[in-house]
Amino acid sequence: MTKKEIKELAKEIMNEMDREGLDMEIVLNKKQLNILADSIVDKLLTSYIREQATWYSTSTMDDIYNHFKQRPKRKTKKKDTESELLGQLAKLMTQLNYHQELEEYEACAEIKREIDLVNDKLSKL
């Protein structure tokens, strides 16, 4: 099927959509469906091949290595500031009150341990 025939088919479909609305049923025979599928696949493959050719022609081994190499992990932890620790403490206290109201004492015990850790960090500042 030529480009002209594809344009005519698309024009027919668009005209029918204008007449029928978006709820219309489009009926394509097997030949038309294959032509449409071939056109879509052709466009996808052409675009993919073009992108691959561009990538292979512009990338060097250093670029590829730098793109895929693993980033080194930080060895030092960021020190918590007083305001961050106070924010954590406020959040934990709210959670503690919530779980106390629900009488979930196991959760309260875990939250209490976290509160103690935050309080220790605050006392070291």
Least confident of 67-76, 92-101, 108-117: 67-76
- Residue 10 has φ and ψ, to the nearest 5°, of -65, -40
Higher pLDDT, 104 or 1: 104
For residue range 10-26, what is the model confidence (pLDDT) as tens digits? Answer: 888 778 777 766 666 66
As a whole number of angstroms, the distance between CA 49 and CA 41 comes to 12
**What is the pLDDT, as a whole number, of residue 60?**
73
Instruction: State how far the alpha carbon of 43 is from the alpha carbons of 2, 14, 29, 117, in Å.
Output: 15, 21, 21, 60
Q: Which helix (H) or strand (E) holds 6?
A: helix 3-20
- This prediction has a pTM of 0.39
**What is the pLDDT, as a whole number, of residue 73?**
65
**DSSP for residue 75:** S
**Domain ranges across the chain:** 3-68, 82-124
